[in-house]
Each structure stands twice: as structure tokens, then as C-alpha cells.
Amino acid sequence: MNNIYETDSIFSGTKGWEQLRTLLAAYRHAGIYILVDENTTKFCLPVLLEKCPELGSAAVITAPGSESNKTVAGVEHIWRSLAKANAVRNSLLLCLGGGVITDMGGFAAATFKRGIDFVHIPTTLLAMVDAALGGKTGVNLDSVKNQLGVFEMPKAVFIFDTFLETLSKRQKLSGFAEMIKHAVIDSPDHFEKLMLLNSPEKICNDANILESVLVKVAVVKQDPKEAGIRKALNFGHTIGHAIETYSQKHDTNPLLHGEAIAIGMICESFISMQLLGFPEDDLRQISAFINRHFPEYRLKPAIAEELFVYMYQDKKSFDPMQLNFSLLRGIGKPVWDQLAGEKLVRESLHFYTNLDAGFFV
């Protein structure tokens, strides 16, 4: 099953390892640098070095892999490490890690000496199906997510399911949320298929992952700079990002990205129904499916004001007075640049909070 979904720049399986070694050979002379976090240095770097022994002499840069460290200071550490290790304009940065490492590493590479090449080897399900794809790099500023960044495509992305073996269930769930998003913006068939798999554990193999990857790759190819259809990928993210930022600030054990997006997708499916006639049956199905797999998060009504602050700061916002959403007319029918008022957003949060109370009964 390997490689059947391969695109120009996305590789996996045995052939993926061969492609990686071919690519590395081209950078041998100019220097290869490996960016890892405290986990991937332990669990993933040994696998990489075993498969690619020529990387034995590569300089390794370690950065903290947590969202709260995806900061300007974090990028500065990578820039300094590259400079100190004499990276030159045609060197290569290999980002081995989750979304924090691929976002921050991509940004560091794209801005070092006005841009050096970089390659992503994502090691979390979330990074494989989302963060590592599509050339969005990003860094947080004062806890506003991805406030800084550039669009810059990695030279290649390598998907190896072997790296998922050491992943926690919660982290798998986080990636699973983005797979649900790809399915609902793609087609009813894709969503049906995902519901049949019915478990974030079962989907962790190259073939399933690549099917989800392809949805994103196809959208990005049509619209790399997010002028139109790429915005469809932001479904669930206006509210989801705000909840994620809130949780990062206030919770001792904050929500993972996908966990926040899962809540965002329920809320924004509700808004889709109210605003665009998204079928109530589909809202019921999405909500029930997410609710079954994801733990409940208590959203007190009082937090809405703080969420609005984050929503207005959202990059998608083009009017400082309006809330901007990517929504669904139906499953497989995404629309974007939809405006909704604060009242409807409050109702959608209320809808999520009362899911268990039997809203549909």
C-alpha cells in the first residue's frame, strides 16, 4: 500500500527512506542540521540515524517542543545554533518533531540568511496530517497563535508511521481531529469511512494517514497563499484557536491543538446550521462522533468575552470589527469568509456545553 498516494514532495514507507537518503546526498557538502525536541531526540533521532547513517556527523539542535515555547525566543535559539554551527545559504535544516518543531523550524529556516532549505519529518499524527504540510510556518507572539510566520514550502515531507508507536493516546486524538476536519470538508464518503475506523488508534498507518494528507495537499495546490479555497481548512479553527489560547493561559494541563479544534468543529457546525442551513442530521452525527472520542471540556459562559478578544486577533480576520469563519453548507461543501456576530457564537458555545444534556432530544 505504500506510496500510492505519493505526490511530488511527500514520501513514505520504504521508498520514502530511499528518497530521503537521495535528498540528503545533495546537501552533504553544505551541511545538514537536525532540529529535534526533548522527546524526538530520545525516541525518533536513533531511528533516523539508523536508517540514514550519513547523518551521524550532522549537527543536532534541540528546541523545546511545547506550544508555550513556540516563541520568538525559541526561534532565536535555532537561528543562533545555525549561525554557531556555520550553516550556509545552501545548508539543509531537517525538522524531526511535532507541529511546534515543524512550524518553528520552518520559520527559522525560511528567515535564516534570507532562507535556507528545510525538510519535515513529522513525528506526531497531528504534524503528519496538518502542520508539516502546506508551507505555513508560524511562531506565537504574546500567546497569540502563529501571529508571526511566512509561507514557505519544505523541500519534501516524509511520513513514517513508525514514529507514531511511542505517541500517547491523547496526542493521537489531537491528530485525529484534523483528520475528521479533512473528511468533513472532503466528502460524505470520506467521513463515513473515518467513522467506520472508529478509533484514533486504528488509523495510525501510512495508508490512512496519506488519504487524509491528500485532502490538504490538493487544497494547498489550488491556493497556496490562502486567498480562497485554502481557507476551508480553517473549519473549526476560529473558535478552536481561541479556546486553545484560553486553555494555554488558564489550565494547568491545557488542551492539545486537536482537542480544541474538535470543540471548534462542533460549535462551527452549529453556526453552519444556523447561518447556511447545514443539515441538522449532519450536525448531530459530527457532534456525537466527536463527543464519543474526545473528553469533555468545561466552557463557562463567562469566558466568551476573552475568547472574542482572541477571535478578533485571528489572522483570518480582515475586518477588526467582525468575526470570520470557514463553515460548511453540507459535508464536502466548505465555504469561507463567513461573518457571524457574537450572539451566534455564544449560542454555539452553549450548544457545545449542553451536548450531554440532550440538545437534540
User: What are the residues binding a copy of itself (CB under 8 A)?
Assistant: 29-31, 72, 76, 79-80, 83, 86, 88-90, 107, 110-115, 136-138, 141-142, 144, 146-151, 312-313, 315-320
Catalytic residue among 172, 241, 259, 324: 241
Catalytic residue among 70, 77, 120, 136: 136
Q: Which is nearer to a copy of itself, 48 or 78 (CB)?
A: 78
Minimum separation from the CB atom of position 71 to a copy of itself (A): 10
Q: Are strands 323-330 and 333-340 parallel, antiparallel or unpaired?
A: antiparallel
The C-alpha cell 502546506 sits at: 134
292 has catalytic annotation = no
Q: Which is nearer to a copy of itself, 110 or 267 (CB)?
A: 110
Minimum separation from the CB atom of position 82 to a copy of itself (A): 9
257 has catalytic annotation = yes
136 has catalytic annotation = yes
Catalytic residue among 77, 182, 237, 268: 237
H-helix segments, 223-299: 237-250, 257-276, 280-293
**Cell numbers of 161, please?**
508511521
Catalytic residue among 178, 244, 259, 268: 178
Q: Which is nearer to a copy of itself, 224 or 279 (CB)?
A: 224
238 within 8 A of 324, measured Cβ to Cβ: yes
Minimum separation from the CB atom of position 90 to a copy of itself (A): 6
Dist. CA 181–CA 188, nearest whole Å: 12
| Residue among 79, 68, 2 at smallest CA distance from 33 | 79
Please count the other Cβ atoms lying within 10 Å of the Cβ belonging to residue 30: 14
Q: Which is nearer to a copy of itself, 89 or 249 (CB)?
A: 89
76 has catalytic annotation = no
77 has catalytic annotation = no
306 has catalytic annotation = no
Catalytic residue among 230, 244, 259, 268: 230
Catalytic residue among 39, 140, 208, 234: 234
| Residue among 89, 85, 149 at smallest CA distance from 117 | 89
Backbone torsions φ then ψ of 306, nearest 5 degrees = -65, -40
Q: Which is nearer to a copy of itself, 149 or 175 (CB)?
A: 149
60 within 8 A of 41, measured Cβ to Cβ: yes
Catalytic residue among 50, 114, 165, 300: 114
Q: Which is nearer to a copy of itself, 116 or 262 (CB)?
A: 116
32 within 8 A of 55, measured Cβ to Cβ: yes
Helix, strand, or coil here: 136?
strand
250 has catalytic annotation = no
Q: Which is nearer to a copy of itself, 68 or 86 (CB)?
A: 86
Minimum separation from the CB atom of position 318 to a copy of itself (A): 6
28 has catalytic annotation = no
241 has catalytic annotation = yes
What long-range pairs does 283-287 form, CB within 8 A, spacing at least 24?
284/360, 285/195, 286/180, 286/184, 287/355
**Dihedral angle, C-alpha 192, 197, 199, 202, nearest 10 °:** -150
**Cell numbers of 151, please?**
509561507
| Residue among 127, 211, 120 at smallest CA distance from 158 | 120
Catalytic residue ranges:
114, 136, 178, 216, 226, 230, 234, 237, 241, 257
